[in-house]
Structure 1
Amino acid sequence: MYRKILITTDGSAVSSKTACAGVQFAEQLGAEVLVLFVAPEYQYPIYVEIIPPSYPSEDEYRAAMQRAGREHTQDVVDSCAKRGVRCEAMAAFHESAAAKIVDVAQQHGCDLIFMGSHGRSGWGQLLLGSVTNKVLQHSRIPVLVHRLIKEPGSK
């Protein structure tokens, strides 16, 4: 059915739970996984005449985001290894996480995008599900949205 599944993560508890479900799904199908972390592009400070010395350079920012990407994707890589699921991890930079997710899925030959939703409605869905909604609008491949019934850590 599906041979290569793109699983997205932003390091949050919601995306970690979703990624675990995505790995289980991939294992059931015998599919491989590409796990993706998308960081925003570097932003030069605006409205200041002198850049503060504590403000990171573009190279420092990119290195920090690459490290964050490795940290956020490592749990998925480890989970795949335990389950015998072939996995590749990557971090990417783009102003629109949704656009990058769709682009990476296409470039890497993924046939499914697996991502999470908070399960909220109304304004909560509008504010917190915007990346998922944009991926659903722009993807040409199927998108499986894993909805969490309750927030991680809640009773």
Structure 2
Amino acid sequence: MFKKILVAVDGSKKALEALDKAIELQQLTQAEIYLLCVFKHHSLFEASLSMVRPQEIQIPDQALTEFAKEVVEMAKQHAKEKGATEVRGFVKGGRPSKVIAKFAQEKGADLIVMGSHGTHSKDGMILGSVAHRVTSSAKCPVMVV
């Protein structure tokens, strides 16, 4: 049924719930799980607009990449604790919805599993903007948890 399941993770509670569902599916199908954390790229110009002026200039993408790596590692650990096997992690920069859909296509994912809302969710919305865009643009089925 499923051979490759892509799980979008961002450190949110909903992303972990989505990962749990993907693990359940993996236990039924022996699919490989790909964890993907996407950080939004920020230019040096955008960073220069910040009200906070650190002593040492740090390129925002470097800090965001490190944070994304931590999110993926925490998700991997969570997956292993829940009995998952064959889990690989990836970090990409860009617009999350586009990167998730493109990555799924490039890797030949049979299914994308993601939370209905991420870390920037708005109360009262039925579906977060990233989840909405991914469901509209992905070439494979998307399970929204």
TM-score by length of 2: 0.78
Distance 1:137 1:40, change over 3 A: same
Q: In terms of Rg, which structure is larger?
A: 1
Distance 1:135 1:29 in 2: 23
1:52: how far off?
4.2
Preserved CA contact (<8 Å) 1:113 1:141: yes
**Correspondence for 2:70:** 68
1:145: how far off?
1.5
Distance 2:22 2:78 in 1: 9
Gaps of 5+ in 2: none
Aligned length: 137
Counterpart of 1:40 in structure 2: which amino acid? K
CA RMSD between the two structures: 2.6
1:8: how far off?
1.0
Preserved CA contact (<8 Å) 1:23 1:79: no
What SS class does the counterpart of residue 55 from structure 2 fall into? coil
Counterpart of 1:89 in structure 2: which amino acid? G
Identity within the alignment, %? 25
Distance 1:99 1:60, change over 3 A: closer
Greater shift, 61-70 or 100-109, is seen at 61-70
